[in-house]
Amino acid sequence: MQAVRTAASVLRYTVDLSLPLYVGMTAKQSFRQRLEQHMSGASQFSGRLKALKVAWSDLQFVIRPLDVPRGSVLTAERLAQSLLRPRVSVA
């Protein structure tokens, strides 16, 4: 039974490490514009990173295009956030 608990603990640990801190989608601006807003402090994202003591140099910016209609971007973002539960996104 201890082996199962240990395996479950390690699995949970690795899943937590693999989850993104933030999931955001945009339809009205480029990803570069959105990233620049975050990095300049024009959004709340920078403050949430500071609260977690995470530096910009600790992060990796990844774009994953998603084929959804422009009017469905917000719904898709909320769905992705509910599935992934990123720690820094506002859901």
Evaluate whether 14 touches 54 at the Cβ level (below 8 Å). Answer: no
41 half-sphere exposure, CB direction, 13 A CA radius: 2
**Residue 3: DSSP 8-state:** H
Q: What is the pLDDT of residues 8-48, one digit of tens each?
A: 888 877 876 777 888 888 888 998 999 999 999 998 888 99
d(CA 88, CA 47): 10
Task: Say what the pTM is.
Answer: 0.67
Nearest to residue 77, comparing CAs of 9, 24, 41? 24
d(CA 69, CA 86): 23
